[in-house]
Amino acid sequence: MTEASPLAYLDEFRDSPRIKELLARLRERRGGPFKIMEVCGTHTMAISRHGIRQAMPDDITLLSGPGCPVCVTSNSDIDTFIEIAASPGVIAASFGDMLRVPGTRMGLAEARSGGADVRIVYSPLDALTMARENPGNAVVFFGVGFETTAPTVAATLLEAAATGVDNFFVHSVHKLVPPALAALCAMPDLAIDAFLCPGHVTAIIGPEAYEPVARDFGIPSVIAGFEPLDIMLSLNMIAAQVDEARAEVELQYTRGVRPGGNPAAMDLMNRVFQPRDTEWRGLGVIPGSGLSIREEFAAHDAVRRFEVDVSYSREPKGCICGQILTGLKTPRDCRLFRKACSPDHPVGPCMVSSEGTCAAYFQYEA
Amino acid sequence: MCLAVPAKIIELDNQMATVEVGGLTREASTVLLPDAGIGDYVLIHAGFAISVVDEGAARETIRLFDEMTDGAGADD
């Protein structure tokens, strides 16, 4: 512990007396009631695990948002990847989170049981290695994730193009956070007074990306780290904004996020991808909120290479994931929750993903 | 899914770094963080370093907190 490192401060960021002090400040507050949406699934998990949601005073409500990439991926995008995975000669590579998410007819795990070659990777680079080692197969990577992940996939695709790995493909269903927040704000039944914004998405796009939401919709946004103290500090910063009738973008997670974000990562992302309209589970089609592969890299685009028919796609019956992802309902409002739907038998993606709202409630907020 | 873990760069060769996380080492690309160097603490996401962890900022957050709550104590 003599070496000064950022990690040496981890204890401070988990220090219980400090957290209690911050909670006491929220309890002593004399402002009106308000609702905060924690946009990011990693925040949802941290908030549930540390009991922060239940510890809030009655006048502050924390609602989970659409920031779980697995959860907002539409069934038609999942079905498309499953159809591609089942095509002859294909090795389908995906982050592990995606495997148990049910599609319309089956999930990836079931497709694998049925004979499809589906492999879990930790990094898109692992999929590129697979393509190099299996030149007779088409290796297709499922590009799921927000701005944190899209640059890693862009860098991998550029590497494939530069080194002539012609059998590497990406099915891009990447999504962008700021257009989704703007779409949420524009919903007529919006019940949100402030956003707790994702730390690692912002490490890439920079805090400035939320300025339009704060300015156009008058909604305070605080970019938070992921330790309990980070979250409690951020909630206090939001409370101060609400009480002083300010709507600004403030950065709490200064150790991980720079003004302007990560320009090198943004450059790579923009070289490979271009914005497109895309469908979010629960939010519908949001203009300019998705990323498709540019014409220049069409040779690595899975949807151009494989033609599949997913006209049968539909959302699961009775599942209210869509309303949960927009903060209109909580898992407890769902009649399937803890009955027909559990982590062992998930009906919708919010119960599957390790950072899904239903999974977080099931595990920690019984 | 946007989980990122802090790790220390202990070796760096042609934009591939060896990083140390909790006593274990693994490989990570620094293509997205071209200015990162040996000894830097970085956040690793999906096999890539995406941001340098700023030690000064970590210390400053704690200091601001202590300042803020000392103020609250004085009001009581």
Are residues A159 and A169 located together in one domain of the fold?
Answer: yes
Are residues A76 and A195 located together in one domain of the fold?
Answer: no
Are residues A96 and A151 located together in one domain of the fold?
Answer: yes
Are residues A169 and A272 located together in one domain of the fold?
Answer: yes
- Cα gap B4→A321, rounded to integer Å: 25
- Residue B22 above 90 pLDDT? no
Are residues A42 and A93 located together in one domain of the fold?
Answer: no
Question: Residues A79, A105: contact at Cβ < 8 Å?
Answer: yes
Measured in angstroms, the CA of B56 and the nearest CA of chain A are apart by 8
**B52-67 pLDDT tens trace:** 998 888 878 777 777 7
What pLDDT does B55 receive? Answer: 83
Q: What's the token pair of residue A312?
A: 């049968």
Which residue among A305, A321, A336 closes a domain?
A: A305
* Chain B residues near residue A144 by CB distance under 8 angstroms: 1
Flag whether A124 is in a domain: yes
- Residue B3 above 70 pLDDT? yes
Q: How many domains is chain B partitioned into structurally?
A: 1
Q: How many domains is chain A partitioned into structurally?
A: 2
Find the residue in B nearest to A72 (Cα).
Answer: B1
- Cα gap A151→A204, rounded to integer Å: 9
- Which residue, among A71, A97, A152, A163, would best test binding to B if mutated, counting the most B CBs under 10 Å from its CB? A152
Are residues A12 and A117 located together in one domain of the fold?
Answer: no
Sequence-ordered strand ranges (E) for chain A: 34-40, 60-67, 90-94, 117-120, 138-143, 168-172, 194-197, 221-223, 249-251, 273-280, 284-293
Flag whether A30 is in a domain: yes
Contact call for B51 and A201, based on CB within 8 A:
no
Find the residue in A nearest to B69 (Cα).
Answer: A21
Measured in angstroms, the CA of B33 and the nearest CA of chain A are apart by 7
Q: What's the token pair of residue A128?
A: 């590129």
Are residues A160 and A289 located together in one domain of the fold?
Answer: yes
Are residues A47 and A76 located together in one domain of the fold?
Answer: no
Residues in A 284-343 with any Cβ partner in B closer than 8 A: none
Question: Residues A206, A264: contact at Cβ < 8 Å?
Answer: no
Segments forming the whole domain that contains residue A33: 6-69+190-251
Closest Cβ opposite residue B29 in set A4, A155, A236: A155
Residues in A 262-281 with any Cβ partner in B closer than 8 A: 262, 264-265, 268
Q: For chain B, which residues lie within 8 Å of any Cβ of chain A, measuring from their own Cβ?
A: 1-4, 6, 8, 29, 31-34, 41, 43, 45-48, 50-51, 53-55, 57-62, 65, 68-69, 72
Strand ranges across the sheet with A168-172: A117-120, A90-94, A138-143, A168-172
- Cα gap A175→A69, rounded to integer Å: 8
Q: Which amino acid is at A352?
A: V
* Chain B residues near residue A145 by CB distance under 8 angstroms: 1-2, 46
Are residues A237 and A284 located together in one domain of the fold?
Answer: no
Walk along chain A (366 residues) and give the pLDDT tens digit of each residue: 334 555 556 667 777 788 888 999 999 988 889 999 999 999 999 999 888 998 999 999 999 999 999 999 999 999 999 999 999 999 999 999 899 899 999 999 999 999 999 999 999 999 999 999 999 999 999 999 999 999 999 999 999 999 999 999 999 999 999 999 999 999 888 789 999 999 999 999 999 999 999 999 999 999 999 999 999 999 999 999 999 999 999 999 999 999 999 999 999 999 999 999 999 988 899 999 999 999 999 999 999 999 999 999 998 888 998 889 888 899 999 999 999 999 988 888 899 888 899 999 999 986
Q: What's the token pair of residue A257?
A: 């996020």
Are residues A145 and A280 located together in one domain of the fold?
Answer: yes
